[in-house]
Amino acid sequence: MAKLAVITLAAVASAYAAKSFFPDLSPFFLSLPLLVLLPFALFSGSGSYTPPGPVSFPIFGNWLQVGNDLNHRNLVDMAKKYGNVFLLRLGARNLVVVSDPKLATEVLHTQGVEFGSRPRNVVWDIFTDNGKDMVFTEYGDHWRKMRRIMTLPFFTNKVVQQYREMWEEEMDMVVRDLRGDRVAQTEGVVVRRRLQLMLYNVMYRMMFDARFESISDPLFQQATRFNSERSRLAQSFEYNYGDFIPILRPFLKGYLNKCRDLQSRRLAFFNDNYVEKRRKLMAARDGKRLRCAMDYILEAEMNGEISSDNVIYIVENINVAAIETTLWSMEWAIAELVNHPNAQQRLRKELWDVLGDEPLTETNLQRLPYLQAVAKETLRLHSPIPLLVPHMNLEEAKLGGYDIPKRTKVIVNAWWLGNNPEWWHKPEEFRPERFLDEEKEVEAVVGGKVDFRFLPFGVGRRSCPGIILALPLLSLIVGKLVKDLEMVPPPGVDKIDVTEKGGQFSLQIANHSTIAFHPIAP
């Protein structure tokens, strides 16, 4: 009824405006807005009981009211107005936003199958070739097969044990480089670049048995350029209007062509420099002696389980899902430890008390509760994927008593679950202690007890399989840096800038931090 009233008012207001500009307009033209809007008001929703949300208009839906920038904080403001589950009609797309742990349990766990698909938009269609990958594919046989094939070479404890020494070696090199770098000790350095090299080496050694010599290695420069541009184009909000409103799509032509062009050059880069090389090695060895993840993936291709397109999209997914997210979390952790010297000091004390001269390794992470608390607190306050990767229901479904139209994009605002003052004490503070005191039951471990307020990796069928790598990688590098180096702001700076930059579902530090590193004796 309220909707009918608002739409009638809108129609009357437009007729009134038209009359004042064109006093001679015939009554037929004056009544046009009402004729167009009334059927919509009467028949939209077609009897179903959809979640609350702002009144929507034909063609544009709520886009005129909410705009393009649907970041996690804007969605919190809307949740305060419309409730813990609300619906936005964004042109041709429906978006439901969930901001409550119980409803999150429904979407991710209880109705994990119903909401286990992924929506794509016009840009993600291009970057995944309509779902030939794993991350953006619908729930079903293809997803199951891709997830199974990727699990063995990437996501098991055996893989962690196989590679942990290599991780430690790459990280020790970072610490050695910073300890020997005079600029890092005086003016400070943008640490992201060195960490990026480390993470590319970790992931490319696991994936292809290949590594980059230095930041100036031309292949490293190309790989990072391709991936950053891919992230920028996919995560931007600026193309939303053309995705939501089909009649505006022609205006996106240039943007979409840019995406297509980048993607074809990027995939050719992965294929020519890495995949083909492993394919030749596999052929020469007759498929025996599998050495790295790609060998297992190519074996699945040779067995006819997946196509060569699927192979390249696994490479694409790892480049995006594994490297960037983990790098963002490292940048956030370092920035917060610099801004909270007491936390940094407490962590250093724990590391020296527990380990003494022993090096920090993956095997002794369990003995370092404060280090684990620092990792959790970083992921709570600055979840790299604050809205999870969007979910979707293939068929009409029920959620919180409401009808959810089929193929609705369903977003769980995981950042808000971890930062709502109703559920957390002073959530805006970076205070790792909370995970040793009042929140000591909250786990962030593979197979741990799930607390639906804390979901930086999601949970359930579509949860992050990379958690088994990401948590030790984050804890190890932070621990190694803090044990051997005092991290401080560069001269003349009081606090590191922790302004956020949100994307379609990403959360990064807006300005990559410059940090000074003072070696700790010996």
Which residues are at the interface with ligand HEM (CB under 6 A)?
Answer: 108, 134-135, 147, 154, 317-318, 321-322, 325-326, 329, 384-385, 388-389, 456-458, 462-466, 469-470, 474
User: Cβ of residue 168: shortest distance to ligand HEM, in angstroms?
Assistant: 17
Closest CB to ligand HEM among 184 and 455? 455
User: Cβ of residue 268: shortest distance to ligand HEM, in angstroms?
Assistant: 22
Closest CB to ligand HEM among 3 and 407? 407
Amino acid sitting at position 237: F
User: Cβ of residue 397: shortest distance to ligand HEM, in angstroms?
Assistant: 16
Q: Over the range 232-252, which residues count as b (16 or more CB within 10 Å of their CB) and which as e? A: ebbbeeebbbbbbbeeebeeb
Closest CB to ligand HEM among 163 and 239? 163
CB atoms inside a 10 Å sphere around CB 323: 20
Which residue has the closest beta carbon to ligand HEM? Answer: 466
Closest CB to ligand HEM among 62 and 463? 463
Q: Which helix (H) or strand (E) holds 173?
A: helix 157-179
Closest CB to ligand HEM among 116 and 242? 116
Closest CB to ligand HEM among 56 and 117? 117
- 259 annotated as belonging to a binding site for a ligand: no
User: Cβ of residue 464: shortest distance to ligand HEM, in angstroms?
Assistant: 3
Is the separation of the CB atoms in 154 and 135 below 8 Å?
Answer: no
User: Cβ of residue 461: shortest distance to ligand HEM, in angstroms?
Assistant: 7
Is the separation of the CB atoms in 484 and 136 below 8 Å?
Answer: no
Q: How far is CA 100 from the centre of its chain?
A: 19
How many Å apart are CA 412 and CA 397, to the nearest integer?
16
Q: 519: which strand partners?
A: 485
Rg (CA), the chain: 25
The residue count of the chain comes to: 522
Block residue for tokens 């807005």:
33
User: Cβ of residue 269: shortest distance to ligand HEM, in angstroms?
Assistant: 19
Picking from 472, 435, 396, 337, the residue whose alpha carbon sits closest to that of residue 49 is 396
Q: Within 13 Å, how many C-alpha atoms sit on residue 153's CB side?
A: 24
Is the separation of the CB atoms in 409 and 397 below 8 Å?
Answer: no
How many Å apart are CA 498 and CA 504, to the nearest integer?
19
User: Cβ of residue 196: shortest distance to ligand HEM, in angstroms?
Assistant: 14
Give the tokens for residue 254: 């240039």
User: Cβ of residue 322: shortest distance to ligand HEM, in angstroms?
Assistant: 3
Q: Which helix (H) or strand (E) holds 96?
A: strand 93-98
Instruction: Name, in order, each residue with C-beta under 8 angstroms of 294's C-beta and a sequence gap of 6 or more.
Output: 153, 207, 208, 209, 274, 275, 278, 315
Closest CB to ligand HEM among 91 and 456? 456
Closest CB to ligand HEM among 309 and 438? 309
Closest CB to ligand HEM among 147 and 258? 147
User: Cβ of residue 491: shortest distance to ligand HEM, in angstroms?
Assistant: 31
| Helix (H/G/I), strand (E/B), else coil: 129 | coil
Is the separation of the CB atoms in 50 and 405 below 8 Å?
Answer: yes
Is the separation of the CB atoms in 372 and 60 below 8 Å?
Answer: no
| Helix (H/G/I), strand (E/B), else coil: 506 | coil
Indicate the annotated binding residues for heme: 464
Indicate the annotated binding residues: 464
